[in-house]
Chains A and B, each alone.
Chain A
């Protein structure tokens, strides 16, 4: 079993839709939860990070962490064609350097 599971998609939505991206994990030691956006042939860009459980909102993006279910989500409101990219979840324990990434979900927003 992988430490982090993420549906690779692709997920296709019309412009303006609300997008829900999700990851599940098995390691209860994870405390930091991040979402990265990766455009084709580019390095990942940090979108959101959350420590422990709860919600965090930044503009059109909302990150949710449910540690009891070992489940995290990223919501994108009013999705735009420019949001089309691969979205990677990543997690880290309290101590140590290692980020563990999900496989990434390909998102396509159609105009």
Chain B
């Protein structure tokens, strides 16, 4: 099966610092990747859609200047949480859609638990 690697799995940082999360498709190419946020006992909430070679599309209420997304290649998308604050603490998950696949067949990374002190 298709593998999506997400790194780091856990990060603890001080308030005001920036954190970068990487999402890689290991054995397939992905023109589209998605970034989600998940609070305890709550749904995965789509933050943004990342398209290779173009600007990301952000969902309503998500600050694009705070959550910087870069999709520079067909196998890598990054999410940078800039000037992180405690309210940004959450579980962040990426998913990737293989080229030619339907949106239903998404492959997810293992997630990143971000804790901002």
**Contact residues of A with B, CB < 8 Å?**
2, 4, 8, 32, 34, 36, 41-46, 49, 88, 92, 97-104
Question: Which of B13-21, B36-44, B63-71, B76-84 lines the interface with chain A?
Answer: B36-44
Q: How large is the interface on B (under 10, 10 to 19, 20 to 34, 35 or more residues)?
A: 20 to 34
Partner of B104, one of A41, A45, A49: A49
Q: Are B108 and A43 closer than 8 Å at their CB atoms? A: yes
User: Once the chains bind, are A97 and B110 in contact (CB under 8 Å)?
Assistant: no
Min distance, Cβ A6 to any Cβ of chain B, angstroms: 8
Residue B4 interfacial (CB < 8 Å):
yes
A32-B104, A41-B9, A92-B104 in contact; A98/B46 too (CB < 8 A)? yes
Is the pair B41, A43 in contact by a Cβ cutoff of 8 Å?
no
A103 touches B113 (CB 8 A): no
B41 & A99 in contact (Cβ 8 Å cutoff): no
Are B44 and A44 in contact (CB-based, < 8 A)? yes
Q: Are B46 and A104 within 8 A (Cβ)?
A: no
CA distance A44 to B6 in the complex (A): 13
Contacts of B111 in A (CB 8 A): 41-43
Residue from A2, A97, A100, A102 within 8 A of B103 (CB atoms): A97
Task: With a 10 A CB-CB cut-off, give which of B34, B105, B106, B111 has the most chain A CB atoms.
Answer: B106
**10 pairs, A vs B, C-beta closer than 8 Å:** A41-B110, A41-B113, A43-B6, A43-B109, A92-B104, A97-B103, A99-B103, A99-B106, A100-B43, A103-B42
Closest approach, in angstroms, between the C-beta of B27 and any C-beta of chain A? Answer: 15
Closest Cβ–Cβ distance, residue A29 to chain B (whole Å): 15
- Do residues B34 and A43 form an inter-chain contact, with CB atoms below 8 A? no
Known contacts A36-B108, A41-B110, A101-B45, then 11 further A-B pairs from the complex at CB < 8 Å, ordered by chain A residue: A41-B9, A43-B6, A44-B108, A45-B108, A88-B43, A98-B46, A98-B59, A99-B34, A99-B103, A100-B43, A104-B41
Minimum C-beta distance from A92 to chain B (A): 6
CB-CB nearest 4 A-B residue pairs: A43-B108, A101-B43, A101-B44, A49-B104
A4 near B44: Cβ-Cβ < 8 Å: no
Chain A residues near B4 (CB, 8 Å)? 43
Partner of A4, one of B32, B43, B93, B103: B43
